[in-house]
Amino acid sequence: MSNNLTESVDFLFIGMGAANCLLLIKMYENDLLQNKKLAIIEPNSKIVNDRNFCFWSNEEEVLKLNLGPLISSKWQNIKVADREKQTISPVYYYHIKGIDLYNKVKEILKEQTVSYYTEKFDGTAIQKSNSFLISLTNLKIDAVKVFDSRPPEYARAEKNQSHLLQSFYGWELKANDYNFDTSTMVMMDFNIPQNNYCQFMYILPFTNNTALFEVTRFGKAIITKEESEKLLTEYLANFGFSYQILDEEKGVIPMSSLKITNINYGENWIRTGANANMVKPTTGYAFHNMAIDANNHVESMLNKKTFTRKIQRSRFKFYDGLLLKILEETPQHGKSIFQNLFNNVSINNVLPFLSEKSSLQKELFIFSKLPILIFLRVAFKDILHRITKVNPSYFAFIITIVSILAYTLGLKEILWSFLGIGFLSVGLSHGAIDYLTDQTINNRKQFIKFIASYLLKGAFLGLIWIVLPDLALVVFIAFSAWHFGQADFKEWKYKQGFNSFTWGLIVLITILIYHHDETIVILGHIKGLQIHHVFSDLSANQLLIGKLSITLFSVLFAAYHKSKLMLLTVCYLLLSTMLPLIASFGIYFVMQHSVHGWRHLKKDLKTNSFTLWKKALPFSLGGALIISIFMLVNNKDYMGVFFILLSCISMPHIFSMHNFYSRFSKSETDI
């Protein structure tokens, strides 16, 4: 020990469970512990066989990993679900006793310079230039390399993620007058009551008359000792032998698709075992992964390379996520899924699939044997969730490209149907729920007052359109710019004000100036309007200068804000100049502006899209009806009428959303 109560070591092992035991053994076998000082923080004395580790592998790999001396049993037949036993040759299902692993490590440690600490490490460390400083109650440890196997901590669940528990309880027993088939282990026998969970039995016959019978549950609640004992007693009664219980095993393994959040202190702070995502979420198996991981790690140490792990292939992550969601939402389907899997697919195809070593073709075959509708339902929800996570600006960009392609190929209907659906689902609806954000509505009278004042605001702008159309146009454009800027800036977490207003203006001017001819035609349909002549009198050169100026300004504006999303918006607005004005505006309005607004409303009102949409429906229909009636009455100048009506309907919405955002900003700091 050096500098008063600080111990300096080469390697610090936090936790000495399976992962760190496997790693330490490998390091020892490769002489990486020679002349090294070690420290171990492990609160558990590890003197009992607290877990049995099973895994499937072949003899060659077991030899390579040098696990042979630890193996206490192996089986080459597996009886699974309702099938006859099947051989898994050349693979074996191996069994290692936890205590044998711990004892082997204790033997190795006798030859090392090692300090033991039995208190729990709280997870805080100071990263120094070449080491980490860790504080325990009475001393500090300065360690060059840390192997951290504390249990994982998880992030909050996203909608498409799940966190379940695999809990189990088993008896190692001695059977009287009974001969077990020692070549065959029983996996996932579902012939036990499900009790609204997904639960099954395992049998590991160690000798002719001793075996481990274990009941396992996949579910949110842990199986209790009483529940397990009842299930075990009933199950064992089918075998017709009497028995003595020699030992018990119990445990809980997280089955999780959540992100692990344990702090990472850099490349010399290595998380191991469950903490390093080694547990396959849908099976709970981790031992084989950890043994391979230890091997890889030692190889990189020998080669003096930084240790990096392969991340789980995304399609297996996706499958795991789906199965976990099914087990979480409808655990009763677990039995039929696993029985279908094991009854219809050979175990020799299932095991590589569970080890994530199957081909896509084999996986499709496997899925074809499963109750596919159950998977499709959760897959659909999962994909929908992922889509809602895509930033609306990316989405708008993609839609712009697809629309340009559709338009050039003469498939205009695709574009209009898409925009129509978008307009009816979020475009119109995000304005039709203004009554939900108004905090003055507590009763019917206040509701009627709100509707009346809403209509009056719209009517007032209508009046200005009749009396002073030029002023109405300027007011409408200014208010719209304010409103568009407000929603985008809120989403992008920028301060509201002059800059958000400028951004709204950039969007509108870009759309209008690049669709100069169409803009003039529409404005030409508005009676009494004079201001648009300024626009129509522009020479080609003036127009070009205008277009270049707004483009340059918008790019500089995005650069000033260091905003990729702003730049992306500018890009798709420019690309959408290849489309008609209404499509260009529609893509921005529906895919970006309305989706941003919708997200904020959903968050503030703490509800889902469908509920919000239902609440909006009567008012969306009302808005559509008003527009249709006016357009039927005045069908000559329908373009102008449509524009004016849209502005009149939008005006009260802009006020409502301004009030909403002012309140939302105060209550909401993290959108």
- Residues in contact with ligand FAD by CB under 6 A are 14-20, 41-44, 51-55, 120-121, 149-151, 249, 251, 253, 273-275, 279, 284-287
> Of the two residues 261 and 549, which places its CB atom closer to ligand FAD in the complex?
261
**How many CB atoms are closer than 10 A to CB 421?**
12
Closest distance of CB 382 from ligand FAD, Å: 26
Closest distance of CB 354 from ligand FAD, Å: 11
Residues 166 and 147: their CA atoms lie apart, in Å, by 25
Residues 216 and 188: their CA atoms lie apart, in Å, by 9
Closest distance of CB 15 from ligand FAD, Å: 2
Closest distance of CB 369 from ligand FAD, Å: 25
Q: Where are the alpha helices (DSSP H) in 46-173?
A: 59-65, 98-110
Six-digit token string for 101: 């692993």
> Of the two residues 51 and 457, which places its CB atom closer to ligand FAD in the complex?
51
Residues 6+ apart with CB under 8 A from 496: 485, 486, 489, 490, 661, 665
Residues 29 and 40: their CA atoms lie apart, in Å, by 19
> Of the two residues 51 and 297, which places its CB atom closer to ligand FAD in the complex?
51
Task: Quickly list DSSP for 289-307.
Answer: HHHHHHHHHHHHHHTT---
> Of the two residues 17 and 205, which places its CB atom closer to ligand FAD in the complex?
17
The alpha carbon of 367 is separated from its chain's Cα centroid by a whole number of angstroms, namely 22
> Of the two residues 279 and 487, which places its CB atom closer to ligand FAD in the complex?
279
Six-digit token string for 383: 């994909």
Q: Any idea which residue has 């849209």 for tokens?
A: 646
* List of E strands, 99-257: 113-117, 125-127, 132-135, 140-148, 163-175, 184-189, 198-205, 210-219, 243-256
CA angle 330, 156, 565 (to 5 degrees): 110
> Of the two residues 274 and 322, which places its CB atom closer to ligand FAD in the complex?
274
Closest distance of CB 575 from ligand FAD, Å: 50
Output phi, psi for 266, to 5 deg: 120, 180
Closest distance of CB 259 from ligand FAD, Å: 17
Task: Name the residue whose CB lies closest to ligand FAD.
Answer: 17
Output phi, psi for 171, to 5 deg: -115, 130
Residues 6+ apart with CB under 8 A from 477: 508
> Of the two residues 287 and 514, which places its CB atom closer to ligand FAD in the complex?
287
Closest distance of CB 115 from ligand FAD, Å: 14
Closest distance of CB 66 from ligand FAD, Å: 18
Contact between 138 and 227 under an 8 Å Cβ cutoff? The reply is no
Closest distance of CB 269 from ligand FAD, Å: 14
Return the DSSP state at 151: P
Closest distance of CB 134 from ligand FAD, Å: 10
> Of the two residues 287 and 613, which places its CB atom closer to ligand FAD in the complex?
287
> Of the two residues 49 and 349, which places its CB atom closer to ligand FAD in the complex?
49
> Of the two residues 284 and 321, which places its CB atom closer to ligand FAD in the complex?
284
Residues 6+ apart with CB under 8 A from 341: 81, 350, 366, 369, 370
Closest distance of CB 51 from ligand FAD, Å: 4
Residues 6+ apart with CB under 8 A from 152: 254, 256, 260, 261, 262, 274, 275, 277
Closest distance of CB 355 from ligand FAD, Å: 11
Q: Which residues of 114-151 are buried (b: 16+ CB within 10 A; e: fewer)?
A: beebeeebeeebeeeeebbebebeeebbbbbbbbbbbe
> Of the two residues 253 and 298, which places its CB atom closer to ligand FAD in the complex?
253
Contact between 282 and 323 under an 8 Å Cβ cutoff? The reply is yes
> Of the two residues 149 and 400, which places its CB atom closer to ligand FAD in the complex?
149
Which residue, 454, 461, 448, is CA-closest to 434? 454
Task: Quickly list DSSP for 601-667.
Answer: HHHHHT--HHHHHHHHHHHHHHHHHHHHHHHHHT-TTHHHHHHHHHHHHHHHHHHHHHHHHHHHHHH
> Of the two residues 105 and 651, which places its CB atom closer to ligand FAD in the complex?
105
> Of the two residues 80 and 399, which places its CB atom closer to ligand FAD in the complex?
80
In the chain, the N- to C-terminal Cα span, in Å, equals 50
Residues 664 and 439: their CA atoms lie apart, in Å, by 12
Q: Any idea which residue has 């698709």 for tokens?
A: 257
**How many CB atoms are closer than 10 A to CB 663?**
13
